[in-house]
Each structure stands twice: as C-alpha cells, then as structure tokens.
Structure 1
Amino acid sequence: MAEFSDLGEHCSDPYCRQKDVLTRTCDGCGAAFCRQCITDHSCSRHLVKDKRVVLCDKCGTALPLVDSLTPQQALAAHECQPVQKKPRCAVCRTVLTFATMWACPKCDKKVCLRHRLPEDHMCAGIMGCAATARQNAAAAAEARARMLRVR
C-alpha cells in the first residue's frame, strides 16, 4: 500500500477528509470531494453549469432547464416547429438521403438510384418526347402514303 500513498486527494468536506483516488471536482467552486460528499456539497455555484435538459416529444429539441423550471413549464414555454417529413422516392417510396437521392433533370422528380433512369420512373420529360416522336412518325408515315398514292 506504500507505493500508492501519493495518489488521490483528501475530500474537501471538513468532517470527512477521506483520501480518495477517484475524487470528483465541483464545477462551481473547484473543490475535490469523495463520492459520498459530492452530493451533499452545498455549493451555490454548482447550478451555474447545470446541463439538465428535457426533450420535446414533437420536434425532438433539447430544452435546457433554466431558472429552476420544471420540465412541464419548459415544454409549455417552448414553441416547436414540427419535424419535416423526409423525402421519399416517387416510385418505391423508400426514404431518400443525400447519397441515395437523384433529381431527374427532365421532370424534376426526386427518386432513388434504382429508379434514376427515365424509363424506370415514368419520366414526364421523356414521355412528352416519346409522344411527340410518335406524332412525328405518324405524320411522316401519312406523308409517305400520300406520296405513294400520287405516283
């Protein structure tokens, strides 16, 4: 036990003064206390660094408990913004992230990488082009038929 005599500190409580290897330091006054005395310590400044919070059920925001507010009072005073819904694929409805989202340059639909090809997500841009192409092909066939009749 002699080799460990230089480790640890004495508790700052004048009635305890127990030597403890794992002392706890008060955030308010900086005094070192043993495990039993830190909770009984009557420092008025330790509440300055109090980091207790309550979580809002609607938006998930952490609300600090300041000025001796109860959790119910802190929640009542909080004006929360409801959480925005996450974007989903227009085809399969899977949740899109920054890495898995593809915005189609033709129709501006947000789809997953699996449905990034225009044929896979029924692209309005390509469907419009296909309809125009069909109309042009029909008009060309009609013109050819007229030309063949004239000859």
Structure 2
Amino acid sequence: MKCDACEEIFCKDHVTYANHKCMSSYKKDVQVPVCPLCNTPIPIKRGEMPDIKVGEHIDRDCKSDPAQRKRKVFTNKCSKGGCKQKEMIKVTCDDCHLNFCLKHRHPLDHDCKTDGKPASKSG
C-alpha cells in the first residue's frame, strides 16, 4: 500500500503515518497545533510545518511568561545599518558610544564616526 503523504510503499500494518513515522504527514494530516506555553491555537496553511510555525509564534507572539523571558534575554540590538543581531550583553563602542553586536564591535567593522569624522584606521 502507498502512503499518500510520502508516497512510499508499506504493508497494511505500517501504511498509517504514525506506524512508519512519516516525515511528510504534515502535508495531509491537517490539525491545528496548539502552543505548549500559552495554549493558543496556531493557524497553519496546508503544507506548512507545524513545528516551525509554533516556534515562530513562541519567538514573536507568545504571551506566556517563559516566552516573554526568553525574548527579553537578547535586547541589545546592533546599531550597524542592516544588522538585526541582538546580544545578551551591551557591546558599546568607546569612540561613538553606540551598541553593536560582536561582529561589528570594532570601529572599522561599523564605519565608526566620532564627532562627524571617520575614526582613525591606524590601530
């Protein structure tokens, strides 16, 4: 018998999604996942991975206490234009006094400007 999700061939005992641990069952088995932290139903479209959508909900929208605490750990956003990295601790540039991620912490890595002038390139 052929599994309608992964299209593999199985005997009648293993054709069900659970019995062969089908990795494609999310395509056919349409259930609304529930956030394990706040018990909110997470809407998903057919073919979307429920685990990914629940993870995104926890990272962005979840109102539960553990999710809020997790989100607040990394609040120090990099000041380099286009960088969205956040760090657990502040990394302040001694020259321009802005906060940066570890990748952009050195003056040459974030085009540091002190008093409107580019920082010296001699190190």
> TM-score, normalized by length of structure 2?
0.32
| Greater strand content | 1
Please tell me whether Structure 1 or Structure 2 has the larger radius of gyration of its CA atoms.
1
> TM-score, normalized by length of structure 1?
0.27
| Greater helix content | 1
